[in-house]
């Protein structure tokens, strides 16, 4: 039978690529739900082309536009955060692709997990902010989390079939972004246009800036801790500028497994949607002759302080990763609007980690309040 797919965040980079994967395999997948925050125009285009049964626009001011545009289609149109949560908790789909960016994706993912659903997780912030709560929900409700991030997908693929074998450590690979090797005297002057030019990957604006600042790798460390039940010391980051090895796992006997391939997010998306099966595709293949050498180097955490701050938040635990994430979301948005400098982002994040009260064992309510408090604090530092 076809898998019924819900794409939460269909107008973003992951969502649009997921639609390409589904379109290429109509015998395997059936599109059930599409959601977007405020990009009504693209959501309407997607709905008319792909014919889902349900469309949700979370920005309620756009409901009338979407509803009128789809009035001649056999598509149910809903709006608002409440609708996102209700549909995530429904029986209308088999797998939910969680691709809403940032903290905004947490509530719908939790709703799905509480119903024992399978979630293909492309929203790393869900585990960064509330990894302890999410992990408990997965166990309690026998739900499934399948990672979509290329690095976590790589680790997941390496440990499939290794349930009886203990992992010694994992190695997350980082491309280094567009500023690999640059020093503070260069970075102080960079603007968003330069930072958005990732050398290997095509991604949304927020994750591209996170990659340039190495915050993305810091968030991935915290995400990996919860996804794979690891201790802090079992997680390592290495810079691999070619982005061919997407991550590695070292087992207790010292042997390592790596997942390799050309940088293309459609591959981990397809793997997550089709799991446990691998399916044929026409993606471009990796050839060794085109990459005579693969290089690795230690990340420069003195220059790219976000990675060091993320490690610190991971070690602190509690609500520290929530503070880190909230402050980062605010400063990245400000950087994209030319309101703060590239290096200033780290200063503001560090100040938030110092000033927001630490909670050792937060509840979900604590996380929500912490997120709001940190956003307000970070915004106050922006001129």
What is the CATH number for 141? 3.40.50.720
**Does pLDDT of 201 surpass 80?**
no
Tens-place pLDDT, residues 301-339: 999 999 999 999 999 999 999 999 999 999 999 999 999
| Confidence band for 29, pLDDT divided at 50, 70 and 90 | very high
Quick check: pTM over 0.75?
A: yes
Rounded CA-CA distance 236/117 in Å is 30
Same domain membership, residue 176 and residue 106: no
- What single string gives the DSSP state of each residue in 91-115? SS-SEEEE---GGGGHHHHHHHHHT
**Does pLDDT of 207 surpass 90?**
no
Same domain membership, residue 193 and residue 84: no
pLDDT of res. 204: 81
Same domain membership, residue 165 and residue 142: no
Q: How many Å from the N-terminal Cα to the C-terminal Cα in the chain? A: 55
pLDDT of res. 132: 94
% of residues, the chain, pLDDT over 90: 91
DSSP annotation of 338 reads: T
Same domain membership, residue 179 and residue 116: no
Residue 324, phi then psi, degrees to nearest 5: -55, -50
Tens-place pLDDT, residues 161-175: 999 999 999 999 999
DSSP annotation of 180 reads: T
Same domain membership, residue 123 and residue 208: no
pLDDT of res. 212: 93
Same domain membership, residue 298 and residue 166: yes
Tens-place pLDDT, residues 119-132: 999 988 899 999 99
Distances (CA, A) of 333 to 208, 257, 309, 336, 382: 12, 37, 19, 5, 11
Same domain membership, residue 172 and residue 65: no
- The tokens for 159 are 């440990």
* Listed residue (302, 87, 266) closest to 183, CA to CA: 302
Same domain membership, residue 42 and residue 164: no
Q: Which structural domain, as residue segments, surrounds residue 198? A: 153-258+283-316
Q: Please give the tally of structural domains in the chain.
A: 2
Same domain membership, residue 158 and residue 99: no
- What single string gives the DSSP state of each residue in 273-342? HHTT------PPPP-GGG-S----B---TTTSHHHHHHHHHHHH-TTHHHHHHHHHHHHHHHHHTTSS-T
Same domain membership, residue 167 and residue 223: yes
């Amino acid at each position: 039978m076809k898998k019924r797919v819900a794409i939460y965040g269909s107008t973003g980079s992951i969502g649009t690529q997921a639609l390409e994967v589904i379109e290429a395999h109509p015998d395997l997948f059936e599109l059930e739900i599409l959601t977007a925050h405020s990009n009504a125009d693209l959501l309407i285009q997607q709905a008319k082309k792909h014919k889902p049964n349900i469309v949700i626009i979370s920005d309620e001011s756009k409901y009338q536009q979407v509803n009128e545009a789809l009035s001649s289609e056999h598509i149910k149109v809903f709006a608002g955060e409440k609708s996102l949560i209700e549909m995530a908790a429904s029986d209308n789909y088999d797998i939910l692709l969680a691709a809403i960016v940032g903290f905004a994706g947490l509530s719908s993912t939790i709703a799905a997990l509480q119903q024992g659903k399978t979630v293909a997780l492309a929203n790393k912030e869900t585990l960064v902010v509330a990894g302890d709560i999410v992990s408990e929900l997965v166990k309690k409700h026998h739900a499934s989390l399948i990672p979509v991030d290329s690095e976590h997908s790589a680790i997941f693929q390496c440990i499939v079939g290794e349930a009886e074998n203990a992992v010694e450590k994992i190695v997350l690979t980082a491309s280094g972004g567009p500023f690999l090797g640059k020093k503070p005297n260069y970075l102080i002057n960079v603007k968003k246009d330069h930072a958005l030019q990732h050398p290997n990957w095509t991604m949304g604006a927020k994750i591209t800036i996170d990659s340039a600042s190495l915050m993305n790798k810091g968030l991935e460390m915290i995400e990996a801790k919860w996804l794979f039940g690891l201790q802090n010391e079992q997680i390592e980051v290495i810079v691999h500028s070619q982005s061919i090895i997407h991550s590695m796992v070292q087992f207790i006997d010292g042997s390592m497994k790596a997942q390799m391939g050309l940088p293309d997010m459609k591959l981990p998306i397809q793997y997550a949607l089709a799991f446990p099966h691998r399916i044929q595709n026409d993606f471009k293949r990796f050839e060794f002759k085109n990459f005579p050498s693969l290089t690795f180097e230690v990340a420069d955490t003195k220059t790219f302080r976000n990675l060091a701050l993320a490690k610190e938040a991971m070690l602190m635990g509690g609500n520290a990763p929530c503070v880190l994430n909230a402050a980062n979301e605010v400063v990245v948005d400000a950087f994209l609007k030319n309101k703060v400098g590239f290096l200033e982002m780290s200063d503001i994040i560090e100040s938030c980690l110092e000033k927001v009260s630490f909670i050792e064992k937060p509840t979900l309510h604590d996380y929500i309040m912490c997120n709001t408090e940190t956003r307000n604090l970070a915004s106050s530092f922006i001129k």
